[in-house]
Chains A and B, each alone.
Chain A
């Protein structure tokens, strides 16, 4: 089992007073989401050009019919709306995420745990001028009269805002800082079956119920919560070699001799249920045994 990677977890207390743990979006995920959105914006812009501008170019230049004018006006306004309202528009929907963020399982939330307001969404996206368009304008500056060093200095200066999220622990963009928001992971999880519950479906497999195991108090006292969770993960991933190895280790640790025809999975499930019963019982009395070394 790989060691758990330290995650960017923050606790946010809801107005109801229940702390919710949020995992913050990584900088790489944010960048990926932005690239997807940028690609979508570019596609829309190209479609706008095809629909609104191409008919104008085909007519003789300077003829200037009123239909051409309407097309050009529409294009200018649509391009403006796209540049300034694309992000804000999506983030005001119930998902609070742009298509790029949706793909990567991210969403925007207010840092103080309150309502995500429209002005916060507007403010966090208005700063994209500073973070996206300003560096771009310095990148493209060599075409103009600005000399290379000025452009380079400008690029460096504006890169500070672009790379701002990398320099703070909450991965806040300049816009997040100003708007009091942050971007959190919002993964969808399925409700997995309870491993300790009696298996009703076992009847399907020839009506065999779970074999009966009885553990002594000493045997269920061998481990703590940490080991229980590792065992849960092993059982849920169903990787046969790992199951065998873990079963062998536990048998050695608690001094269990395997009976004839005893399957590793059955043994582990029974031990998991027994261990969880024991530890949850302790939990009710206010004692949470962290791991096997925690002897209280």
Chain B
């Protein structure tokens, strides 16, 4: 019995490297990568690979279950550290704006088209319904949302809502109003993305309904000869906001489409691909809605001339269009 077991010798020779890896991982997990020196950080992948190779060998030659369990847990920890989301935050954000976001938006173009059509359909439908019978207005727009902008209001009152301060929120300050609009809309956009999981149907419904509200609203103002004015009032932030909402719906639909029609890939693979791409798009949508919230909460209250409002709307349209679809080597 004086002769050592082969597996015992194997362990004795490598034990030190395993414990070193374990110690480094423990420190890195507690304090993040900053906790380690450059040399230590560089040594982790090498130690990880040697631990993996130890595990491979141990499975072949050792029957010490505790040893194999230990190595599996150690390798799993090192694996997650090695292959975890580890690009620095600055880098990651830079790549998002420079490449990932526009690419995700471009890849979503078929869904975006359908989403825009769904919204237009809703708008056209409710526009024609409300022009046929103004009573429809009340079934499309809930009272608390209309805030007095109903067919019962006089034309002068309606005009005042377009150029005056926002009646309720106006008093609480523009910054608060902008923050409220942004968080509210962004939450709905993220909801539209999440609803894509139900095969995209609720996302489409959300778009149609959003369009319907818009259509009824526009019809009310157009019927009083305020069409041009309401256009400026809506579009100054609406170009950004509606575009963002359309993209959110499109992102949801792309997930629904991947789940329903995965094509040649498995359903899970297709869903994962679509989900990651849509996730990038939806992060961008939140950024767009922050811009829209500022334009609506602050810009619209400050800029009260209709022509200037249209100018801002056109500028935002050009900006987003150029940003998403700009030609160049970074494309793809």
Contacts and interface: CB of A to CB of B under 8 A. Distances in A.
Interface residues of A, number: 87
Interface of A: 14-16, 18, 20-22, 62, 64, 66, 69-70, 72-73, 76-77, 79-80, 83-84, 91-96, 107, 109-124, 126-131, 133-134, 161, 174, 177-180, 184, 186-192, 194-198, 210, 212-213, 225, 228-229, 232-233, 236, 270, 273, 276-277, 279-280, 283-284
Contacts of B100: 119
Contact of A186 (B53, B69, B76, B190): B76
Q: What range describes how many residues of B lie at the interface?
A: 35 or more
Contacts of B84: 94, 96, 115-116
Contacts of B12: 197
B9 to A, nearest CB: 9
Interface stretch (B54-62, B132-140, B157-165): B54-62
B312 interface: no
A188 to B, nearest CB: 7
Given A76-B183, A119-B279, 5 more contacts: A84-B187, A120-B272, A129-B193, A130-B198, A191-B19
B130 interface: no
Contacts of B52: 14, 16, 18
A117 B175 contact: no
Interface in B66-106: 66-67, 69-70, 72-77, 79-81, 83-87, 92, 100
B197 A179 contact: no
A123 B275 contact: yes
A191 B6 contact: no
21 contacts: A14-B83, A20-B55, A20-B79, A64-B173, A69-B173, A91-B85, A107-B80, A111-B268, A118-B92, A120-B276, A124-B275, A126-B279, A130-B194, A178-B255, A178-B275, A179-B276, A188-B73, A191-B15, A195-B64, A232-B65, A233-B65
A283 B8 contact: no
Interface stretch (B26-34, B117-125, B145-153): B26-34
